[in-house]
């Protein structure tokens, strides 16, 4: 059994969700307004070669300007960060989700190591207004060193947010040629899920993990073969598991309903769904087989 290397954010920003938390901040003026607006349109246009823009202050806290744009991605952008400046960037990257290339946006706030504390306090009050001007993004990174803004770091954040790396484990379970036949994810905090484990021992191996997780909420899928299915290509069946341990508080249980749609979308499609609080009794091979046979009966 393996686990622990993947994460999936339930709080990824959706298109159009560009409002930030906190106060509205002071309004800012844009020195090169026409260039600024053109750059914003270009970086958010997937058909335009511009894939990053960099914005900074123009001598005072309430005035900003477009500093630079580029077409060669993260590695090119990093060269434009200045250790003595506070700057803001939007970079467009490509994340592969279910084998489909998908554009994602990263918002980077770069506060160089040499920026004085008084400058951070003075200029930082305008960040909310600047954020609104930059438009939609999927994840945010706040960095003070160029090493924190590497391509590896940024793509890791994007893949954690979109769940694309978790989908690799899901695809393995759904692949009849792969030995992996179950996987589980669980909460690392209120809004982030991590891979708990995968294995090739079927439902009962999965149950052994659940039996030691009475204070946890776990989600997963398990594959099984329907020996009664006459169509060989269709005899793999996928069951989605929702496990809520008996020691989970009512407050946590109430919060789970807001995540249900996201979890279902992550695992979809599946053939049957099973809910469990006592896995040794309500997650048996016989119960799973019965669920699958009921599904076939409903189709007849």
CATH code of the region 164-299: 3.40.20.10
Statement: the pTM of the whole predicted model exceeds 0.95 = no
Instruction: List pLDDT tens digits, range 186-232.
Output: 998 787 787 888 999 999 999 999 999 999 999 999 999 876 555 54
Confidence bin at 6 (pLDDT 50/70/90): very low
Highest mean pLDDT among 43-57, 99-113, 233-247: 43-57
Architecture of domain 10-162: 3-Layer(aba) Sandwich (3.40)
Instruction: List pLDDT tens digits, range 108-151.
Output: 999 999 999 999 888 888 888 999 999 989 889 999 999 999 99
* Residue partners of 76: CB distance under 8 A and separation at least 6: 52, 70
pLDDT confidence of residue 24? 45
Q: Boundaries of CATH 3.40.20.10 in the chain?
A: 10-162, 164-299
Asked, as a colleague might, if the bond just before 269 is cis with ω within 30 of 0, I would say: yes
């Amino acid at each position: 059994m393996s686990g622990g290397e993947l994460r999936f954010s339930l709080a990824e920003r959706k298109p159009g969700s560009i409002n930030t938390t906190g106060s509205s901040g002071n309004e800012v003026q844009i020195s090169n307004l026409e260039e600024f607006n053109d750059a914003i349109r270009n970086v958010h246009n997937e058909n335009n070669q511009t894939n990053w823009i960099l914005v900074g202050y123009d001598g005072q806290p309430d005035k900003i300007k477009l500093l630079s744009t580029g077409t060669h991605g993260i590695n090119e952008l990093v060269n434009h960060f200045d250790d003595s400046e506070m700057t803001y960037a939007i970079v467009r990257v490509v994340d592969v989700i279910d084998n489909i290339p998908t554009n994602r946006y990263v918002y980077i706030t770069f506060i160089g190591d040499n920026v004085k504390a008084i400058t951070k306090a003075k200029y930082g009050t305008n960040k909310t207004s600047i954020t609104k001007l930059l438009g939609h993004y999927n994840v945010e990174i706040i960095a003070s060193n160029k090493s924190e803004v590497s391509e590896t770091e940024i793509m890791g954040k994007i893949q954690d947010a979109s769940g694309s790396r978790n989908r690799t484990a899901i695809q393995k379970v759904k692949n009849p040629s792969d030995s992996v036949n179950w996987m589980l994810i669980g909460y690392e905090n209120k809004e982030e899920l991590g891979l708990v484990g995968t294995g090739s021992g079927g439902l009962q191996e999965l149950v052994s993990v659940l039996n030691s997780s009475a204070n946890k909420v776990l989600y997963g899928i398990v594959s099984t073969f329907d020996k009664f299915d006459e169509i060989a290509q269709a005899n793999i069946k996928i069951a989605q598991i929702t496990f809520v341990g008996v020691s989970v508080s009512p407050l946590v249980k109430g919060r789970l309903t807001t995540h249900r749609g996201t979890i279902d979308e992550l695992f979809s499609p599946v053939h049957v769904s099973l809910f469990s609080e006592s896995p040794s009794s309500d997650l048996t091979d016989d119960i799973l087989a019965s669920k699958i046979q009921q599904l076939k009966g409903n189709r007849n």
